[in-house]
Structure 1
């Protein structure tokens, strides 16, 4: 799997993923984005979801869809501003 194949798929299927899963933004990070991926690398995808569609069902359905599409393990992360840390208030994000 080449980085270009992944980024092209994400770009050409963004509208479909918006409708099906509530994806607002999607991008690649990690070893594939850095050009350091090997046969054992997972694919790291950063997503932002619409507030009214942000739920576990859509998250897991998107993960499954991408794993079936690419035939590789997918790790999905949220943008840094949406991430919670142990010391952040529960009301954030």
Structure 2
């Protein structure tokens, strides 16, 4: 199963896990969003954080998503993006 199919198949579970950690507006960016992902590519998620953020954020969210998806995951927040990459990431980010 390719990454796109994996994300489509697990979409509701991904959103539920994100919500458990206080995250919403879940998007993918990087090679997955650009359609350049390889079989061994990680999945880069961009999220916004609500007031009910898990005390384990982002580690708990990353671990839960890695367990669900069976591959390496990175999580970034809109506010945590470095200025030099912010515009590019926000432009290429695709809603889950």
TM-score, normalized by length of structure 1?
A: 0.70
| Structure 2, gaps ≥5 residues long | 84-96
Corresponding position of 2:3: 2
Gaps of 5+ in 1: 87-93
Q: Please give the root-mean-square deviation of Cα atoms over the aligned residues, in Å.
A: 2.2
In structure 2, C-alpha distance between the alignment counterparts of 1:78 and 1:54, rounded to whole Å: 14
Which one has a bigger Cα radius of gyration?
A: 1
Number of aligned residue pairs: 81
Bigger relative contact order, structure 1 or 2 (CA pairs below 8 A, ≥6 apart): 2
Alignment match, 2:45? 45
- 1:83 pairs with 2:84: no
Cα distance between partner residues in 2 of 1:84 and 1:41: 20
Report the TM-score when normalising by structure 2: 0.69
